[in-house]
Structure 1
């Protein structure tokens, strides 16, 4: 039988309409991930007021949401390495969108918290699955950049959530955020069903004799030469199917690398969860800034995250990724600390918010992109999802810590100084990762430089 190298085929294929629609869907999924995570924090005081309680009472909503996201990251992501990225994305978007729309009619904060937790289970792996899918459909020469473009949807979603707090809140209530949060993933379902194929690399690793792969190959390149007796492989890979195992991300010398990446994601996503949940409340309670005013500034500032995501995607194709990320997180820590000291109404505050968002969102996007580079396709969704799951565990603690800071009447300066320790920890871990990868290169050839 004829060996057909899927890796080489994807790398020489021009980016066409199929990859374009897949990229659009991935952008929308990343959009809703960013929108959903930041939206609740920006409108938390309004939700609490509507239910006749204080902002601190929103803590269970944040905690349940993070628990759901952690559970989903550990359970749904491996399923994408078993049943396919496309199938699991369709299922996840359908369930998450439906539950989110229903959440707009919650009768109590307890009901809302439970529904946020359940919805989180189904959307937690949305971004990892989208990253795996787009990275496996695009040529290597454009891969990091297209992954960055998709991840820019996360920053766009973050900025869009500010629209709810700034302009829709007074006219349509906090429910408007849930209408957007539920409608966008439901829009992704028909796009996935009709226009987006399953990852060829995933299918080839599972079953090199899959006759359906030939149809997708011709869809991506009608001029492709096929004889009908192909075995579809990745590079010089095995012609026997190889199913993913949960232990793959720790095997073949990956233990140290995976441990460092998990720790970095935990600290990074803990920082993101803390600030997405409580930053508007911190400024309102500790500095007297109304959430509507802060929302407008944050909405503009989060556009810096789009720039950070695109810039780091471009830079990661040209520099050692782990060292680059280490630098990003050092600057992020400095920006976060300075937010408490620069007056809100001064000319320097908005540029500082843009810079903070640039390095925070760009740094997390860089971590996700790094994972798509250093793990092979058969375990890529699991690697992305479980790294995110480790981060979500830290996210469970973050809302509690934010509520504690408010209850203890911490100053804004003390609160943000403590938060800045998290990105400094990520910077150290990325520096160690660069050293670990350098040691591995001394002994064995590595396809990717960290």
Structure 2
């Protein structure tokens, strides 16, 4: 007779039991815990979504207004430049006008290079307020300038504030962005920059002829009134508070708004100085990606600020009246707003590096077409489409860097990418001035188109080096964690 051992008997059906083996009892609590966690998540997520969304709207709204004033101050010089050249204000010539444009972008270089590390150490909120105050007061210096030297000093100081504000605002909104929507929120933020460009064209149209060019710069002083509002209402970055060891303050802010705290950064990250944060960009295999982003940013900002400074003047050289040339600025920036929204959604779905490369290729084609004299309606369409692709292509570089960076050194990574690109921003206005001074203004659009092609190559290589799907997945993980 076969004797059955205890383990064998345990799997046999006893009277009244279903005909199936018993599951190990250790697995039952695991299923219950999973169900409990799922219920807890489902019950708490609506609260976090509702109140967290209100906080995100507050942060994005305040940063949007700050960047609006940034764009107004940046584009105002290009909008009044045709008038300055016609009236020979300060004895301006095309080459000296190009130098003045480069002064502002050189200041932006200084601001961008220092802003990220300062923000990581002292807080993004304080830096944003300081930048708004600086470029507003600097515009007052330009409005009162009695010589080209004083005017150049004002533009340089304004550039420092402008260069510091943008990467800081990008880092701030990325901290509060909903999960998987980092690129879209950054694109939404950058629509403010182009709204400022549109505003600058209308300020020039309404004030320069009847009142004078100085009135346009006095308008750029008005953001000074916004600084106290920003200081009062803008919350500090939660990841910054945790990195600095201000855990109680971060917890109080998160509790007040019912938002989740980001994952706490390690003590090493919180205590790291600015050089350690910079070195992080070159550790392991990151140095290749970092250099590719810097080179792409160089060509992109050469293109952006070269076109922003010289578009009205180059279009006048093509035979268009001053009013039409300023209308091109409006259409160009309207395209920029559409492009930011479209590129942000596309980047969240397909990856920011890939979208940036495609956008740069289309930008180069559009900029080159502007060197061809076409009917007004066709030219307006080309200017609009060029604005769609040009501005958002560069912003998607920032989105890529921001999403791929950790919370501890995000501001440093974005700031240095923007800062290295500022060398191109310095070179672009100077290059346009030199081409106009040598009576080769028609080649300006060709030169800017070549810059767009170079950025397409660099960001394209960066995209190919990224593992398919990994950069998007990791990027959404980073955005969702902050």
| TM-score relative to the length of structure 2 | 0.82
Q: Supply the distance in 2 between the matched residues of 1:298 and 1:164 (Cα, whole angstroms).
A: 12
- The answer to whether the Cα contact below 8 Å between 1:86 and 1:197 also exists between their aligned partners in 2 is yes
Q: Does 1:142 align with 2:215?
A: no
Q: Does 1:355 align with 2:394?
A: no
| Contact 1:372 1:380 (8 Å CA) reproduced | yes
Cα contact 2:297–2:418 (8 A) shared by 1: yes
Instruction: Give the equivalent residue in structure 1 for 2:465.
Output: 436
| 8 Å contact from structure 1 (residues 10, 138) kept in 2 | no
2:159 counterpart of 1:120:
yes
**Post-superposition shift, 1:103?**
2.0
Whether 2:83 is the aligned partner of 1:53: answer no
**Residue 66 in 1 paired to residue 97 in 2?**
no
Aligned-residue Cα RMSD (Å) equals 2.6
CA distance in 2, matches of 1:316, 1:137: 18
Residue matched to 2:328: 297
Measure how far apart 1:373 and its partner are: 0.5
1:35-434 equivalences in 2 (<5 Å): 35-48=72-85, 49=87, 51=89, 53-56=91-94, 57-184=96-223, 186-207=224-245, 210-221=247-258, 234=263, 238=266, 242-244=270-272, 245-284=277-316, 286-343=317-374, 345-412=375-442, 414-434=443-463
Which of 22, 27, 33 aligns to 2:59? It is 22
- The alpha carbon displacement at 1:75 in A equals 1.5
- Going from structure 1 to structure 2, the CA distance change for 1:417 and 1:72 (only over 3 Å counts) comes to same
1:343-366 per-position Cα deviation (integer Å, ceiling 9, x unaligned):
2x4321111111000001111221
When residues 440 and 153 of structure 1 are mapped into structure 2, their CA distance, relative to the original with a 3 A threshold, is closer
Contact 1:58–1:109 (Cα < 8 Å) also in 2: no
Describe the shift of the 1:220–1:390 C-alpha distance in structure 2 as closer, same or farther (beyond 3 A): same
SS in 2 for 1:265: helix
Give the SS at the match of 1:289: coil
Cα distance in 2 for residues equivalent to 1:84 and 1:163: 35
After superposition, the Cα gap between the structure-2 partners of 1:143 and 1:256, relative to the gap in structure 1 and judged at 3 Å, is same
Summarize the Cα distance change of 1:11–1:178 in structure 2 as closer, same or farther, 3 Å threshold: farther
Give the distance between the partners of 1:13 and 1:83, measured in 2 at CA. 29
CA contact (8 A) 1:203 1:213 kept: yes
Structure possessing the higher radius of gyration over alpha carbons: 2
How many Å apart are 1:150 and its aligned residue?
Answer: 1.1
Deviation at 1:53, TM superposition (A): 2.3
SS at match of 2:465: helix
8 Å CA contact 1:18–1:195 kept in 2: the answer is no
Aligned length: 426
Q: Would the alpha carbon gap of residues 436 and 169 (structure 1) be closer, same or farther in structure 2, given more than 3 Å must change?
A: same
Pair 1:386–1:11, CA change in 2 (3 A): farther
* 1:42 and 1:280 in contact (8 A); partners too: yes
- Residue matched to 1:229: none
The residue matched to 1:242 in structure 2 has which SS?
A: helix
Give distance in 1, aligned partners of 2:185 and 2:91.
44
| 1:10–1:139 Cα contact (<8 Å) kept | no
Deviates more, 1:346-355 or 1:165-174: 165-174
Q: Deviation of residue 440 (structure 1)?
A: 11
Q: Distance in 2 between matches of 1:138 and 1:132?
A: 10
Q: For 1:440 and 1:152, how far apart are their aligned partners in 2? A: 27
Post-superposition shift, 1:301? 3.0
Contact in 2 for aligned 1:166/1:293 (Cα 8 Å): no
Cα contact 2:183–2:396 (8 A) shared by 1: no
**Distance in 1 of aligned mates of 2:405 and 2:45:** 19
Q: Deviations over 1:343-392 (max 9, x none)?
A: 2x432111111100000111122122112101111111111111111111
Give the gaps of 5 or more residues in structure 1: 1-7, 225-231
The Cα shift of 1:50 comes to 5.9
Q: For residues 320-353 of structure 1, give each alpha carbon's deviation from its aligned partner in whole angstroms, at most 9, with x where no partner exists.
A: 221221111111110111112142x432111111
